[in-house]
Amino acid sequence: MLPAAIHIYGHTGTGKTALIKHFLSKSILQRNKTNIAFVNCVENYTSRILFENVLDFVRRESDDQAVKTENLKDFVEELRRQDTEPHTRYIIVLDNAERLRDMDANVLPSFLRLQQLCGLNLCVILISQLPLEKFYGKTSIDDPILLYFPQYTKSETLEILSADFKNAKKLVSAHLCRNKADNLMDKLKILESITKDFFNNYLNLFLGVFYKACRDLSELKITARKCFIFYMEPILNGTVSMSDVSRLWRCIAGQLRTALTQVYIRSGEAEVIATEHSDKEIVKIAQSLELPYYGKYLLIAAFLASYNSSKEDKRLFVKNHGKRRKRMQAVNANAKVTEKMSTYIGPKSFSVDRLLAIFYAILDEKVGLTCNLLSQISTLVNLKLLSFVSGENVMDGTSRLQCTVGLDLIVCISQVVGFNVRQYLCDFN
């Protein structure tokens, strides 16, 4: 007999789903007659869809007609019909099982006792990021077997990321070919001479910045590939040698800080646009963003709030802000060094009140503060053009946000509405 239920939990990116899939496809269970249903609770967002998809996997092959289940009772009755096949095992894997909490209250307890309810040799495997206590409070006698997947250590993460060496080299090669780099053949030869030890040294620098902020392996892998392009640029251009680690660090430090603020966000970010799209394609992307008129101004205001200091708001957005004395200290402080430019370092967080204040300052029209206007901020968040830093309720005004789009895209969007965004950026004033 299989165990009634197993609850597997751990942080995202710790290999829970991948290991279970591999185990079920390669294990001794495949030698016996076993029906396996692997469903994702994100895709199966209602109990009815979930029941029908599970039955599609576990039903007898002779049943060609689709089964419709209106409720839990129909689902259990249909499973009992499978009892005519002796010595058959059934395994139901529910990935992202924390979504079951959003369904009917009887769905989760029923899955935990499904073996008892239908009388089959059946096991339900719940895969979740949350421990069982977060599902239905106190433990009970029907609790499943618990398996915890701990996070990878830094050395384990380095070992896993180092296996991505060939893919990282392919990405740099594709970047050079796509941008038609000068002396392409010479640069490709330099790229081929890169060793795995050199790549591991880069990963040590990379994890020194990212490991404390992000433990998600898939996100680290994507960001490490992207930043490796910037790490290789001075070497391929011949300005820095491979052995000069300190100069390579100075070249990559700014890009790592920028990428750190944009981790988990892969749409509209500055580096992706800068490396994967030409100027004409950026214009097309800006024009294809079918945002409302005020939504575009809100996005521009969010960019200005992210890349300007709040101390400069009065000077930039208030017409009669008074005279400003130009002392030598102020002149030296405002001397623009590339590594110190806000657009180079990365975006900062801002409050909803400051966003709306800048929005009203740059908009010529008089617009009332309505729910429709505030809902457009939530739309920008859903489109990944803005992201929450703290709090997730725009209406109460306590949340802080961050703009995730790059300068090139904002310039194109501002041109669409006839606004000069550079005029209001501290880096250019």
| CA gap 415, 392 in Å, rounded | 30
Q: In a 3-state reduction of DSSP, which class is residue 67?
A: coil
Six token digits for residue 372: 């429709």
Contact call for residues 231 and 252 (beta carbons, < 8 A)? yes
Could you tell me the pLDDT band of residue 188, with boundaries at 50, 70 and 90? confident
Q: At 338, which amino acid appears?
A: T
Q: Where are the domains of the chain?
A: 5-149, 154-264, 277-323+345-428
Nearest Cα residue to 50 out of 40, 58, 59, 60: 40
Give the residue with greater pLDDT, 4 vs 311: 4
Give the residue with greater pLDDT, 60 vs 358: 358
* Total Cβ atoms within 10 A of residue 312: 14
62-115 tens-digit pLDDT: 455 666 788 888 888 888 887 666 678 889 999 999 888 888 888 888 898 999
Contact call for residues 227 and 255 (beta carbons, < 8 A)? yes
**CATH number given to 5-149:** 3.40.50.300
Contact call for residues 356 and 369 (beta carbons, < 8 A)? yes
For 50-61, give one letter per residue: b (16+ CB within 10 A) or e. Answer: bbbebbeebbee
* Total Cβ atoms within 10 A of residue 184: 14
16-29 tens-digit pLDDT: 998 999 888 876 55
Could you tell me the pLDDT band of residue 283, with boundaries at 50, 70 and 90? low
131 phi and psi angles, rounded to 5 deg:
-70, 165
Could you tell me the pLDDT band of residue 285, with boundaries at 50, 70 and 90? low
pTM comes to: 0.57
354-376 tens-digit pLDDT: 898 898 888 877 777 777 788 88
